[in-house]
Each structure stands twice: as C-alpha cells, then as structure tokens.
Amino acid sequence: MVHILTGRFKDALGFAFDLHATQIRKGSGVAYIAHLLSVAGLVIEDGGDEDESIAALLHDAVEDQGGPETLEMIRERYGERVAEIVEGCSDSQGLPKPPWRGRKEAYIAHLRQATPSVRKVSLADKIHNARDILMSHQICGEVVWTRFRGGKEGTLWYYRTLVEVFRDNRDDALVAELDRVVTELERLGG
C-alpha cells in the first residue's frame, strides 16, 4: 500500500525540529531529530499512513517537550488521531516523571491494549532505541548502561518484555529485528 506524504508531514517535520532543536541523544551528542527521523522512516517503510508518520515525528514531544500543552498543540495542528497516537506512545506527561519501573510496567500494560497505530510507532521507536544502545555498547562497552535509570538489568528486562508484547500482536520482520537486537544486547550484557 502506498501512502503519499503531504504538506502536513512537512509541517510536522518543522514542528518536531523546533520542539527538539536543542535536545541531544543520551550520551552520544547526536541531535535528537536524528532519532525522530529514524522512527518516522521505519514507520513509513512499514506502510504507515500520514497520521502514523506524523505521530512518529512527534512521538516524544509530549514526554520531553511540554506535556499536556504540547499534546493540545499537536491535536490542534494535526488532528485527534495523531494526538491519540502520540499520547499512546508517551509513558509520562511532564515532570517529574513517575518512578522508572512502575512507569515501564504501566506502559507495557498499556501497549497490550493499544491500537495498531500506537504499537506501530512504539515498535519503530523501540527498534531505533535498541539499535542505538547496541551501537553505543560496541563503542563504549558496559558504561552504556549508566545512561539508563533501569541500569543494565532493568533495561534488558524492559526490551525483552517489549519484544513479547509486540510479538503477541504481530509477528513480522520488524518484531524479528527488535528481537535480534535485544538478543545481541542480552548476549553482550550477560
């Protein structure tokens, strides 16, 4: 199925850039927009429609750049469906964030019941994050785990559980890719 992207996507790209302009990825110094572009690319390649692709660009906006106010701006600019997907991909809305383990357990429970669109964007996000962790591990070794509130054990638990949740809902190449990367992280982290 072919989905054509329109000026809405172009506008969302600029909006995402503006929201995250000063943000960098944990420990790497890479501009955060690279993550958003990668997630959107995975969603588009997976057959995502324009709303899903826009949500991929904005999936971290609520969590990292303004909470409920940002969600309302997304709703006004891109519509209810995009806002629902973005909200469904957020494990918190604002600061301070709830404790890590409880937040991740709640997100996993939420994903089990989430719409296919939320799961599509979330899966793309988790694939890119896991790939980034793997690449960082290859560069700096075990110190990579200090970047994460869950540490090595918690982060590996979280990603392995995500593989299981996604596999319960779809068993395809993207889930296999997340499983492959997580398996490699477990091998290195073991």
User: Is 17 within 8 Å of 57 (Cβ atoms)?
Assistant: no
Q: What is the CATH number of the domain that holds 143?
A: 1.10.3210.10
* Mean pLDDT of all residues in 46-66: 95
* Mean pLDDT of all residues in 22-45: 92
Its pTM stands at: 0.95
Higher pLDDT, 171 or 117: 117
Domains in the chain, number: 1
Residue ranges making up the domain that contains 71: 7-189
Residue 54 lies in a domain: yes
Structure tokens at 13: 């790209």
3-state secondary structure (DSSP) of residue 26: coil
Residue 1 lies in a domain: no
Could you read off the pLDDT of 157-186 as tens digits, one per residue? 999 999 999 999 998 999 999 999 999 999
The residues that are catalytic are: 63-64
Amino acid at 70: T
- Cβ atoms within 10 Å, residue 11: 13
Residue 2 lies in a domain: no
Could you read off the pLDDT of 128-156 as tens digits, one per residue? 999 999 999 999 999 999 999 999 999 99
> In the prediction, which pLDDT does 8 show?
97
